[in-house]
């Protein structure tokens, strides 16, 4: 079995290739790799059950479920192969503190979508920009505030004034 | 061949609006090519909503411009910052940046721009000659041929593309499954809608593409945060000398041919073409030891090839209706949104669109050649814009953009869901490309398979006995057996040669080239990375 450190040929060469390929990220552990195989396996299995319920029909007169059933069998087979051979796969990346940043990012998007129909796009838009700039991007306070307002104004000008798109809005 | 249509195509391109969209397209393309992170696929996905409000011809001209414009832009950062803006410009780093270190950044960029122009133009001429032939052959294709062709396309993208083959096939399977959501066209029954009215018409292509490619990529970059930048090398005298042009001329020619053919191949595309062209240049060179230390051919070959490939990858899309790579899948989707189904009849049914788009590439390439040289300075300044500022802007364009398509909050939710899926896929080593491609081809393939089964009266062997579909099956079998074996052999050889173990999914060619470039380098370039000041 290979370990990540085996990849390093000579220190000098590694420095260089790291920079070139720019993809040297901490690989994920065995659990993550198993999970990466189990998730599609479950999806395939669930899809196969659903397909059978839709009715497979005959080869001469295929039912609505025959095609999805075939695909699901393929997904299940490939996932099973991945699960068995998964120990050799090293392309999954470990989650880091930065992954938390992604989670916060997703939450801000969800918040925007929830708020949009009620308060229009301007305030959520500016808030989202601010959070991304200040907390996710590490920009300075005043920079974040100015840019957030600027971006929101630009969006208002483009979407509302120029393109006349019926976005839910305050103004 | 009917030349009047080709000439009329020029008339279409020269309409002021179309010229404008061509210019906008190549400018955006160059811009995002320069900016590392957001690639052409992500950008084209994010801009899909805009294509609704403009004419089909103008829309596709613009999207095509983004695609080949990005090939030009990616070079700039490769040469100046040792930071490939695009995957297809990774090999340009080896010699391009070495040239920049010698104070010849301008020459490298000039050669790359001329090579790109040359490769692009040769490829358009090839496209003009080959496409009508392919289309006329494809006119005799029936459902069985299309089913097998779609299968071949998906398999090629899954096996040749990045990432592990197995994971790519799974991703493609999920794409096919997602395509079945909604009303079944044959029986009228609803499939996998879970009683949701919003899903009854199926999942729209736009939120899937925008989520997986657009948001997914933004999330992934947010996680990776690898924005350390060198100070750009100084650029002087961008025009290559006559001797330098002569030195590169062979590479221009070889790069064009390699790029053209690899571009047609599904799953090939610009990245593979640039890698193969680099390897070819090194092989034919009388002074291979100069590669990695600033050989002009090492820039000319791959840069010519990636542009040639970007152009020729339009052939399978416009003549067969089978997208050859992820970018083409998005453009396929954009055409469908406009009510145009790409296929063998496109040339005769929509000559304006076909020849308009093809001929726009001549204009686009000329624009790029003219623009790329004076604008290099501007683009270097743009590089100073921090990723932290670009991220919220792209996120908002994506979210508000998808809303404008159908004024649907549900689509916004879908984009976020698929954005998260795209991020997780990348984290776990699954490529979103095969998924989107399979999704786009899904309903076409299902219809073709079911029609075929009716034609054959349920006899599956019909696929094999029909000459054309049988041949395609032969190719598929060869592919499923031959490519994995070839990969294992290449891997073994590379591991033996360089004394390293390769991770599965790691590109053998890419790693081999990187290692060769570095081992040839007697004095490794010192990594003068200046952390970006915040």
What does the alpha-carbon distance between residue B424 and residue B422 come to, in Å, rounded to a whole number? 5
Total length of chain A: 171
Shortest Cα distance from B7 to chain A (angstroms)? 34
Q: Is A36's CB within 8 Å of B450's CB?
A: no
Shortest Cα distance from A1 to chain B (angstroms)? 10
Whether the CB of A71 is below 8 Å from some CB of chain B: the reply is yes
Evaluate if residue B225 carries a pLDDT over 70. Answer: no
Q: Is B186's CB within 8 Å of A132's CB?
A: no
Q: Is A129's CB within 8 Å of B515's CB?
A: no
In A, minimum Cα distance to B418 occurs at: A106
Shortest Cα distance from B418 to chain A (angstroms)? 11
Evaluate if residue B505 carries a pLDDT over 50. Answer: no
Please name the member of A147, A159, A163 whose beta carbon is closest to the beta carbon of B389. A147
Maximum pairwise Cα distance, chain A: 69
| Average pLDDT for B385-389 | 78
Q: Is B173's CB within 8 Å of A71's CB?
A: yes
Q: What is the pLDDT of residue B71?
A: 81
Please name the member of A71, A109, A166 whose beta carbon is closest to the beta carbon of B176. A71
Of the candidates B6, B11, B23, B3, which has an alpha carbon nearest to the alpha carbon of residue B365? Answer: B23
Q: Is A9's CB within 8 Å of B500's CB?
A: yes
Q: Is B519's CB within 8 Å of A93's CB?
A: no
Q: Is B395's CB within 8 Å of A165's CB?
A: no
Q: Is A7's CB within 8 Å of B427's CB?
A: no
Interface of A with B in 128-157 (CB under 8 A): 128-129, 132-133, 136-139, 147-148, 151, 155
Structure tokens at B138: 């494809």
Q: Is B388's CB within 8 Å of A128's CB?
A: no
Interface of A with B in 109-128 (CB under 8 A): 109-110, 112-113, 116-117, 121, 125, 128
Q: Is B189's CB within 8 Å of A138's CB?
A: no
Tell me which of B97, B427, B476 to substitute to probe the interface with A (most A C-beta atoms closer than 10 Å): B427
Q: Is B473 exposed, middle or buried (0-12, 13-18, 19+ CB in 10 A)?
A: middle
What does the alpha-carbon distance between residue B30 and residue A119 come to, in Å, rounded to a whole number? 37
Q: Which one is predicted more confidently, B523 or B501?
A: B501
What percentage of chain B reaches a pLDDT higher than 90? 25
Shortest Cα distance from A62 to chain B (angstroms)? 7
Evaluate if residue B242 carries a pLDDT over 70. Answer: yes
Q: Which one is predicted more confidently, B178 or A90?
A: B178
- Report chain B residues whose CB lies below 8 A from the CB of A35: 428
Please name the member of A2, A13, A96 whose beta carbon is closest to the beta carbon of B515. A13
Shortest Cα distance from B229 to chain A (angstroms)? 11
Whether the CB of A7 is below 8 Å from some CB of chain B: the reply is yes
Please name the member of B392, B503, B518 whose beta carbon is closest to the beta carbon of A91. B503
Q: What is the pLDDT of residue A21?
A: 39
Structure tokens at B2: 């009917």
Please name the member of B173, B499, B518 whose beta carbon is closest to the beta carbon of A17. B518
Q: What is the pLDDT of residue B360?
A: 93
- Report chain B residues whose CB lies below 8 A from the CB of A72: 173, 177
In B, minimum Cα distance to A165 occurs at: B404
H helix or E strand, kind and range, residue B8: helix B3-13
**Is residue B508 very low, low, confident or very high in pLDDT (cuts 50, 70, 90)?**
low
- Report chain B residues whose CB lies below 8 A from the CB of A71: 173, 176-177, 180
Please name the member of B170, B186, B416 whose beta carbon is closest to the beta carbon of A110. B416
Whether the CB of A49 is below 8 Å from some CB of chain B: the reply is no
Q: Is A43's CB within 8 Å of B174's CB?
A: yes
What does the alpha-carbon distance between residue B210 and residue B214 come to, in Å, rounded to a whole number? 5
Dump pLDDT digits (tens) for B87-114: 788 888 889 888 888 888 888 888 998 9
Other beta carbons within 10 angstroms of residue B461's beta carbon come to 9
Number of CB pairs < 8 Å for A and B?
230
Q: Is A129's CB within 8 Å of B392's CB?
A: yes
What does the alpha-carbon distance between residue B260 and residue B120 come to, in Å, rounded to a whole number? 9
Q: What is the pLDDT of residue B503?
A: 52
In B, minimum Cα distance to A137 occurs at: B388
Q: What is the pLDDT of residue A83?
A: 86
List residues bridging with B191 in a β-sheet.
B182
Please name the member of A15, A67, A102 whose beta carbon is closest to the beta carbon of B446. A67
Q: Which one is predicted more confidently, B349 or B516?
A: B349
For residues B271, B274, B276 and B281, what is the CA-based torsion angle, rounded to 10 degrees? -170
What does the alpha-carbon distance between residue B157 and residue B266 come to, in Å, rounded to a whole number? 6
- Report chain B residues whose CB lies below 8 A from the CB of A43: 174, 177
In A, minimum Cα distance to B172 occurs at: A75
| Residue reference for tokens 């998924």 | B435
- Report chain A residues whose CB lies below 8 A from the CB of B398: none
- Report chain B residues whose CB lies below 8 A from the CB of A47: 177, 192
Can you spell out the DSSP letters for B332-351?
Answer: HHHHHHTT---STTHHHH-H
**Is residue B173 very low, low, confident or very high in pLDDT (cuts 50, 70, 90)?**
very high
Evaluate if residue B234 carries a pLDDT over 80. Answer: no
Maximum pairwise Cα distance, chain B: 70
Q: Profile chain A (171 residues) by mean pLDDT over runs of 10 residues.
A: 37 37 60 85 94 85 88 94 72 80 93 92 93 88 93 88 78 73
Please name the member of B167, B189, B391 whose beta carbon is closest to the beta carbon of A132. B391
Q: What is the pLDDT of residue B180?
A: 93
What does the alpha-carbon distance between residue B121 and residue B302 come to, in Å, rounded to a whole number? 15
| Average pLDDT for B159-174 | 78
What does the alpha-carbon distance between residue B299 and residue B281 come to, in Å, rounded to a whole number? 10
Mean pLDDT computed over every residue of chain B: 83
**Is residue B527 very low, low, confident or very high in pLDDT (cuts 50, 70, 90)?**
very low
Tell me which of A112, A130, A137 to substitute to probe the interface with B (most B C-beta atoms closer than 10 Å): A137
Q: What is the pLDDT of residue B160?
A: 63
Q: What is the pLDDT of residue B161?
A: 57
Lowest mean pLDDT among B27-41, B286-300, B353-367: B27-41
* Angle in degrees, CA B178, B182, B187, rounded to 5: 120
């Amino acid at each position: 079995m290979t370990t990540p450190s085996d990849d390093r040929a000579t220190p000098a060469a590694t420095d260089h290739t790291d920079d070139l390929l720019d993809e040297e990220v901490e690989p994920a552990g065995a659990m993550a790799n198993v999970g990466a195989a189990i998730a599609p396996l479950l999806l395939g299995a669930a899809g196969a059950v659903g397909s059978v319920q839709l009715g497979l029909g005959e080869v001469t007169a295929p039912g609505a479920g025959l095609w999805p059933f075939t695909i699901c069998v393929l997904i299940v087979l490939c996932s099973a192969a991945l699960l068995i051979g998964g120990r050799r796969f090293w392309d999954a990346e470990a989650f880091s503190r930065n992954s938390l940043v992604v989670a916060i990012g997703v939450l801000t998007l969800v918040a925007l979508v929830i708020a949009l129909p009620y308060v229009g796009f301007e305030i959520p838009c500016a808030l989202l920009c601010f959070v991304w700039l200040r907390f996710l991007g590490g920009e300075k306070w005043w920079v974040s505030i100015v840019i957030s307002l600027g971006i929101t104004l630009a969006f208002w000008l483009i979407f509302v004034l120029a393109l006349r798109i019926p976005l839910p809005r305050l103004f | 061949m009917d030349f009047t249509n080709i000439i009329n195509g020029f008339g279409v391109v020269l309409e002021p609006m179309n010229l404008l969209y061509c210019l906008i397209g190549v400018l955006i393309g160059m811009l995002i090519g320069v900016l590392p992170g957001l690639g052409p696929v992500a950008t084209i996905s994010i801009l899909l909503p805009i294509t609704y409000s403009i004419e089909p011809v103008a829309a596709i001209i613009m999207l095509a411009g983004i695609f080949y414009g990005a090939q030009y832009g990616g070079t700039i950062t490769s040469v100046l910052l040792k930071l490939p803006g695009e995957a297809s410009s990774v090999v340009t780093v080896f010699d391009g940046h070495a040239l920049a270190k010698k104070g010849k950044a301008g020459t490298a960029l000039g050669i790359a721009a001329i090579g790109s122009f040359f490769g692009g133009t040769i490829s358009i001429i090839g496209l003009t000659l080959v496409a009508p032939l392919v289309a006329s052959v494809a006119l005799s294709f029936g459902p069985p041929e299309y089913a097998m062709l779609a299968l071949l396309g998906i398999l090629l993208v899954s096996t040749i593309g990045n990432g592990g083959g197995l994971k790519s096939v799974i991703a493609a399977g999920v794409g096919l499954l997602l395509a079945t959501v909604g009303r079944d066209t044959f029986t009228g029954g609803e499939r996998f809608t879970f009683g949701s009215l919003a899903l009854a018409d199926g999942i729209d292509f736009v939120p899937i593409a925008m989520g997986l490619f657009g948001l997914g990529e933004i999330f992934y970059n947010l996680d990776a945060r690898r924005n350390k930048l060198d100070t750009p090398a100084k650029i002087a005298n961008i025009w290559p000398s006559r001797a330098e042009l002569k030195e590169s001329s062979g590479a221009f020619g070889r790069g064009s041919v390699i790029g053209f053919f690899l571009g047609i191949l599904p799953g090939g595309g610009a990245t593979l073409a640039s890698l193969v062209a680099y390897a070819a240049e090194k092989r034919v060179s009388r002074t291979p030891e100069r590669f990695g230390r600033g050989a002009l051919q090492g820039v000319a070959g791959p840069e010519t090839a990636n542009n040639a490939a970007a152009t020729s990858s339009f052939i399978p899309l416009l003549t067969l209706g089978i997208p050859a790579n992820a970018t083409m899948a998005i453009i396929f989707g954009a055409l469908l949104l406009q009510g145009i189904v790409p296929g063998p009849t496109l040339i005769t049914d929509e000559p304006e669109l076909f020849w308009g788009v093809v001929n726009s590439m001549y204009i686009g390439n000329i624009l790029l050649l003219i623009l790329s040289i004076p604008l290099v300075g501007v683009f270097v300044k743009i590089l100073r814009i921090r990723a932290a500022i670009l991220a919220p802007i792209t996120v908002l364009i994506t979210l508000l953009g998808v809303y404008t398509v159908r004024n649907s909050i549900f689509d916004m939710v879908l984009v976020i869901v698929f954005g998260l899926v795209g991020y997780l896929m990348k984290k776990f080593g699954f490529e979103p490309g095969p998924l989107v491609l399979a999704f786009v081809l899904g309903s076409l393939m299902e219809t073709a398979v079911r029609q075929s089964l009716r034609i054959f009266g349920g006899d599956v062997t019909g696929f094999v006995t029909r000459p054309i579909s049988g041949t395609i099956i032969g190719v598929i079998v060869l592919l499923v057996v031959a490519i994995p074996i070839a990969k294992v052999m290449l891997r073994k050889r590379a591991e033996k040669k360089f004394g390293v173990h390769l991770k599965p999914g790691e590109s053998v060619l890419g790693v081999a080239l990187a290692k060769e470039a570095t081992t040839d380098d007697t004095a490794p370039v010192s990594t003068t990375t200046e952390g970006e000041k915040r």
